[in-house]
Structure 1
Amino acid sequence: MRVLDSHLHLWDPELLHYTWLEGPLAWLFGETEIEHARIGNATSERAVFVQAETIEDDFLDEVRWVASLAARIGVVGIVAGARLDRGTDTTAHLEGLAAEPLVVGVRHNLQGESDGLAVSAAFVTGAREVAAHGWAFDACIRASQLPEVARLAGAVPELRIVLDHLGKPQVGTADAPVAPTMEWVRDLDDLARHPNVLCKLSGLPAEAGGDWSAEQMHPFLDAAADAFGAERLMWGSDWPVSVIGPAEADDPYANEDGTPMYQPTARSRWADAVSGWAERRGHDVDAIMWRNAEEFYRVGARPPREDAREERPRRGFLGWLRGDRA
C-alpha cells in the first residue's frame, strides 16, 4: 500500500515560536522523530506538511525550515500558515510564499476565530487571492463552523478547500464511544454539496484523546464517505497531535501516573484503521490513501528538493523518553 499523508506536522520549539505546545508535544518533532513513526505496511510513503501554528511572524520561516528537510523525510508539498483577513498584508505574505516551490496551499486556522470571519469581505478577498495562486485552502474548524465553510465554498467556487479532521466531531473514547450527531451529519452533507470541497480522514484519534478503536470511528468514516464519496476523501495522520494518549500496551516508557504520552505505533494504527475500513466497504483504497491527495494538492510531478542545513543539538521526544527531561 502506498501512502501520501495529507496532514503531517513537524515543529522545532528551539527554532520557531509556538504558544500552544505543552506536555508531550512540547518537544522537537522533526526528521529523526518521523523516521521512528513510519507506517509499517507502506510500500511508498510521502507527506504534505501542514503548518503547525507558529506565531504569525514565523510563518515564512516555518516553510523554509520544512523545505530544508523535505527531501530526506519525503515531504512533497507544504500548506503554509497565512492570515487571509489582512488586506495588503495578506497580499504581500502570499507573494512571499509564491517564491517557495513546495508551497501547495495555505491554512488560516479558523477553529478559534470568531463567528463570521471566514465569510467576511476581507477573508473572502484573501481566499480569492489564494485561488489565483493556484493553491488549496485547509479548513481547520470545529463542527459548529461547518455551515460557515459551506458559505465560503459557495462564495469562492474557484478555491479548492479541504476539510481538516472531518470538522472535529465529538467521538467519545474506545470505552465510551459517541455516535455522530444529526447536526454534524447534516452540516457535513451540506458542505459536500460544493464540488470544490474535499475531506480529510484525519484528527479523530486526537478528538478521542488518543483512546480510540477502529470500530468506534467507522460511523464517522461512513458518514464522510456517504457525503463526499470515496473520490473526495484523503487520509491524514495529524502526526504528532493525534498520537498522544494513554500508553500503548507493553510500552517500556509508560508514565507511572498514567498521564498521556506519545504513542509510538499510533500513526501506523490509524493508517491501518482507515485503509482496512475502506477495503471492507469496497472503496478505492489507493485513492483514499494516496491518489486523491496527490491530485488535490497537485504534487504528482513534484519531487522533494534537497537543501543543506546546519546540524544543531537536538532535544526531541526520543531523548525525553530516555530520561533527558531537564
Structure 2
Amino acid sequence: MRELCEDSANSVCGGIISMDLQQPDAVARWREAGLFHRWVKGVRHVLHVPGQPPGSCLTPVFISNVIALGDAGLCFEACVRNEELGDVAGLARQTPRTDMVLNHMGNVDAERLRHDANYSRRWRRNLQSLAACDNVFCKVSGVITPPKVDINLVRPAVDIALNTFSRDKVVFASNFPVCDLGTGGVVE
C-alpha cells in the first residue's frame, strides 16, 4: 500500500489494512515492528466469516487492540454479520476514543428487510443504537441482494441508513468487485 500511495501517478492517498485483533498486543507489536506509516488510516478485522463466533469483538484482547487503534489515530472498520450489530455497539461504547466505520450498513439483506418484519425492526434498532455512539460512522455500500436486482430493492436500506445517521457520519463506497461474489449480479 505504501508504494501505491506514494506513487503520484494515481490518486490513492491511504487505505485500511487487515490485522488479527484477537492476538494480544497486535497493534502495539505492529507499530513496534515499524509497519505503521502515514498512509494507513485504519484496520479491518473481518468478523462475518464462519470462523468468528458471535461476540468475538467483545473479548478483552480485541477491546484492548481497538483502544490501541484509537490511541494511534486509526479507525476500526467493523465488518460483521447483521445479527451481531449489537456487539459492535457494545464495542463502540467501550472504546469511545476510537472511530469506527460500520461496513455495508451492517451487511443488511435487502430482501429480508422487505419481507421479514422482525429482521427489519432489529436492524433499525441496532442502527439507531450505533448512530447514538459519537464514534460510529456508517459506510453505505454492499447491500446484499439477489442477482440482477432493481435499484428499488436497495433504496429502502440506503434511505434508512441515511435517515438514521447524521450527514457528517456517513461515508460511501462501491464495494466493487467484492459485491459480485455474493450475488452473482449487479444492481441495475
Short-chain TM bin: 0.7 to 0.9
- What is the correspondence of 1:1-326 to structure 2 with a 5 Å cutoff? 63-64=1-2, 66-67=4-5, 71-96=8-33, 98-112=35-49, 113-172=52-111, 178=115, 181-204=120-143, 207-243=144-180, 260=184
- Counterpart CA distance in 1 for 2:147 and 2:174 is 12
- What is the TM-score when the length of structure 1 is the normalising length? 0.51
1:234 aligned counterpart, secondary structure: strand
* 1:56 alignment partner in structure 2: none
1:198 aligned counterpart, secondary structure: strand
Give the counterpart letter for 2:78 in structure 1: A
Q: 1:159 to 1:97 in 2, by over 3 A?
A: farther
Higher relative contact order (CA 8 A, sep 6+): 1
Q: CA deviation at 1:84?
A: 1.4
- Counterpart CA distance in 1 for 2:134 and 2:151 is 28
Alpha-carbon contact 1:202-1:235 (below 8 Å) kept: yes
Alpha-carbon contact 1:162-1:200 (below 8 Å) kept: yes
Q: CA deviation at 1:157?
A: 0.2
Q: 1:245 to 1:117 in 2, by over 3 A?
A: closer
Q: 1:99 to 1:122 in 2, by over 3 A?
A: closer
Q: CA deviation at 1:82?
A: 0.8
Q: 1:104 to 1:111 in 2, by over 3 A?
A: same
- Counterpart CA distance in 1 for 2:165 and 2:134 is 9
Larger radius of gyration: 1
The number of equivalent residue pairs is 183
Q: Using the TM superposition, name which of 162-171 and 96-105 deviates more.
A: 96-105
Q: CA deviation at 1:220?
A: 0.8
- What is the TM-score when the length of structure 2 is the normalising length? 0.85
- Counterpart CA distance in 2 for 1:227 and 1:107 is 23
Q: CA deviation at 1:243?
A: 4.3
Q: CA deviation at 1:88?
A: 3.4
Give the counterpart letter for 2:48 in structure 1: Q
Give the counterpart letter for 1:189 in structure 2: Q
Give the counterpart letter for 2:166 in structure 1: G
Give the counterpart letter for 1:109 in structure 2: V
Identity %, equivalent residues: 26
- Counterpart CA distance in 2 for 1:104 and 1:155 is 21
Q: Deviation per CA, 1:307-326: give whole Å up to 9, x if none.
A: xxxxxxxxxxxxxxxxxxxx
Task: Note the residue ranges of structure 2 that are not aligned, 5 or more in a row.
Answer: none
Alpha-carbon contact 1:210-1:244 (below 8 Å) kept: no
Q: CA deviation at 1:135?
A: 0.6
Q: Deviation per CA, 1:196-232: give whole Å up to 9, x if none.
A: 101011011xx11442222211211121122112221
Alpha-carbon contact 2:46-2:79 (below 8 Å) kept: yes
Give the counterpart letter for 1:242 in structure 2: C
- Counterpart CA distance in 1 for 2:67 and 2:182 is 39
1:191 aligned counterpart, secondary structure: helix
RMSD: 2.5
